[in-house]
Structure 1
């Protein structure tokens, strides 16, 4: 992991503020819900969210569905299913069948606590007939490579699924559902998070209590507070990373090179179009390398670009830390091959945190001296 005495603690402060365990604990403390008869946690932050729920409701059955290698430290006695992300696999279908069966089996009068975080779209699936795993995988890979944004992808996922877009809870026969969600989408809509796996059908035949318990805005506010506590002026704090990385990078670079000294903070989730047979990396690594190119030769800038979940695409890096001295002409070929991860790794610029227990999209934290 790159050594940076300022940017890394700021990123950690943002992540800590939206961790699944702390977010759920706060939500259940400030607005208690009925004792649930079942807890279902789905997404990349499912384990952390489940820990807080189990602490509050120690006797409630618990089902966790999360990404491979993301269940370490899960509560004792929990049923755990790990599956693939960002492209689903056979375990995703097994998870979809199991989650659906649990929801359908709940008795009249029962209460369900749903804990939802980003990644649930790939991790939990029950394909609509006549689709199968091969169909879903091919479509998912095509959408990921096309640069489609999360709204386009989730709209397509809902049409292909029997558990998304409120369809899972349409099978619920109980009395009430509480959904606590960590948002990884623009606008923080429960209908979009996890492709609506924790959303209620319209109309719902049960009492529904939906809450967003963590978001990119909360993470950015925590970063800004941490910077202010160190006497670092916050010049920009905005959520604008919602275009292609080739548009986002020069825009950010222009703001940084022309802006005042201090902290410049951006949030969101940009898109990237992949070539055939892409190399190693994800959108954050590619964006970081593009920013490095745009600020080449500038001596007073250092920029962290990372996913708050600790993973960037199909890699074990969250992103990268770059500055004006990093860029070399060979980086252009790496960008063209979508191989930014390999290039940045060879220069010890990758940021690796491991799973963070949350997922509120991405952060760009830039410090200008």
Structure 2
């Protein structure tokens, strides 16, 4: 069977993204709220909350998967009586918000607030303040469904917002992995690294907090998923200091730079005292979905829809995009015909002054296409690289796919970090536009005929 990415991807997208919606099954009765999480084929957790124990029940979605996280609650409220104490709040990104999800949640009386991403703005500060205002009421049960993107969508910087924006811009344009990026952002932000948890539980008034995580972080470290606003975990201040040392020369002369050094020094001293005592009412976060789930589900769908042999690789990739895609292509070509699926998160370092437009997935796909052409295999190998959150870099695309043909001008576009323009003009490759609603990092699919 001779397949090209142009025929494989539509079948995958039509089936995969609905399947990847967070595995959350709430059930309401007159006395209880039960929440089951986890894919039926794997382990399922079940939490039961007694409504009369709390004066209010707040269900909050944070991040780029927030709308889809709360959709099961909107569906349940259609079937079951709504307790007067139950309130829904979403903080999302406007560009990746499904209109159908927005309409359904608004009909369920869910408040939707839009922060900004990847660079936080005043809207992100407002979003964080709204979350705290809702969740810090006495004797409240707070169920937080947290996904990637929260780091920018919600923020309360401890430095000026202008400096925080510049630091964030320098971080996301660097080659630092998400763990390093969030280690620095979290120590400069009062919402992150347990900041929201502290606001919810500071009064010891009978309030409770439970967090359900959709992980876009390769090692599932809860400190770095959305920068851990509801996690009482020890911060890696030393890592934050290392990242800041690499970044500081770019920000020389900016107002407030010296304040960052003071904050890091103070936190380093506080670190010696150990992790603060976890307050009553706190439950350790539960990870309900991760990148390997996306790989497994994609492989199943591709096998059923194409009839080809599919090779899922559950070991996540990370590191420079060029290294990642070269390794994937070399392995696929060596092993022969089939469909190869791998997930993870790569990094790309680029010059923000270059004027180029793109994201790590579009760039990774272009690097791969150039390599395949150099190998003389453009008629045998096709490729797709995309983000499961429907968003690749500061663009409206999720990534790109390529199904053969030449790569004229590809090297020049790579040098300018202008992969978006390259794919927008192609005839045998194109940008991928796919719904948001999930955020399980990135997927790479390679087809070898």
TM-score under structure 2 normalisation?
0.76
**Structure 1 unaligned regions, length at least 5:** none
CA RMSD of aligned residues (A): 2.1
Q: How many angstroms apart in 2 are the aligned matches of 1:236 and 1:308?
A: 16
Q: How many angstroms apart in 2 are the aligned matches of 1:158 and 1:61?
A: 28
The equivalent residue for 2:413 is 334
Q: How many angstroms apart in 2 are the aligned matches of 1:64 and 1:71?
A: 13
CA contact (8 A) 1:126 1:161 kept: yes
The equivalent residue for 2:290 is 215
**3-state SS in 1 of match to 2:402:** strand
The equivalent residue for 1:7 is 9
Q: How many angstroms apart in 1 are the aligned matches of 2:362 and 2:382?
A: 15
The equivalent residue for 1:313 is 393
Q: How many angstroms apart in 1 are the aligned matches of 2:447 and 2:98?
A: 34
- 1:264 deviates by 0.9
The equivalent residue for 1:157 is 185
Q: How many angstroms apart in 2 are the aligned matches of 1:260 and 1:182?
A: 34
**Structure 2 unaligned regions, length at least 5:** 27-33, 37-43, 234-275
**3-state SS in 1 of match to 2:319:** coil
- 1:84 deviates by 1.3
* 1:38-81 Cα shifts (integer Å, max 9, x gaps): 11111011111112133346442111111123163331222111
- 1:10 deviates by 2.5
CA contact (8 A) 1:167 1:197 kept: yes
Quickly say closer, same or farther: Cα 1:210–1:82, change in 2 above 3 A.
same
The equivalent residue for 1:33 is 48
Q: How many angstroms apart in 2 are the aligned matches of 1:71 and 1:16?
A: 12
Q: How many angstroms apart in 2 are the aligned matches of 1:45 and 1:222?
A: 18
Match of 1:300 among 366, 376, 380: 380
Which stretch shows the higher mean deviation, 139-148 or 283-292?
139-148
List, as ranges, runs of 4+ consecutive aligned residues in structure 1 with deviation greater than 6 Å: none
Report whether the alignment pairs 1:260 with 2:336: yes
Match of 2:93 among 64, 67, 88: 67
Q: How many angstroms apart in 2 are the aligned matches of 1:340 and 1:273?
A: 13
**3-state SS in 1 of match to 2:339:** strand
Q: How many angstroms apart in 2 are the aligned matches of 1:28 and 1:309?
A: 24
- 1:91 deviates by 0.2
Report whether the alignment pairs 1:118 with 2:148: yes
Q: In the comparison of the two structures, how many residue pairs are matched? A: 361
The equivalent residue for 2:365 is 288
Which stretch shows the higher mean deviation, 355-364 or 283-292?
355-364
Q: How many angstroms apart in 2 are the aligned matches of 1:239 and 1:324?
A: 27
The equivalent residue for 2:272 is none
Report whether the alignment pairs 1:82 with 2:114: yes
CA contact (8 A) 2:337 2:447 kept: yes
- 1:253 deviates by 2.1
Quickly say closer, same or farther: Cα 1:12–1:304, change in 2 above 3 A.
farther
CA contact (8 A) 1:18 1:215 kept: no
**3-state SS in 2 of match to 1:208:** coil
* 1:233-292 Cα shifts (integer Å, max 9, x gaps): 123423332011121222222112222211111100100001233411100000000000
Quickly say closer, same or farther: Cα 1:85–1:350, change in 2 above 3 A.
farther
Q: How many angstroms apart in 1 are the aligned matches of 2:173 and 2:349?
A: 5
Q: How many angstroms apart in 1 are the aligned matches of 2:116 and 2:416?
A: 24
CA contact (8 A) 2:13 2:434 kept: no
Q: Please tell me whether Structure 1 or Structure 2 has the larger radius of gyration of its CA atoms.
A: 2
Quickly say closer, same or farther: Cα 1:19–1:314, change in 2 above 3 A.
same
* 1:108-129 Cα shifts (integer Å, max 9, x gaps): 3x2111011110000000111x
The equivalent residue for 2:321 is 245
**3-state SS in 1 of match to 2:285:** strand
**3-state SS in 2 of match to 1:33:** strand
- 1:5 deviates by 2.4
Task: Give the 5 Å matches for 1:195-206.
Answer: 195-200=227-232, 202-205=276-279, 206=281
Q: How many angstroms apart in 2 are the aligned matches of 1:89 and 1:203?
A: 32
- 1:3 deviates by 7.5
Q: How many angstroms apart in 2 are the aligned matches of 1:212 and 1:186?
A: 12
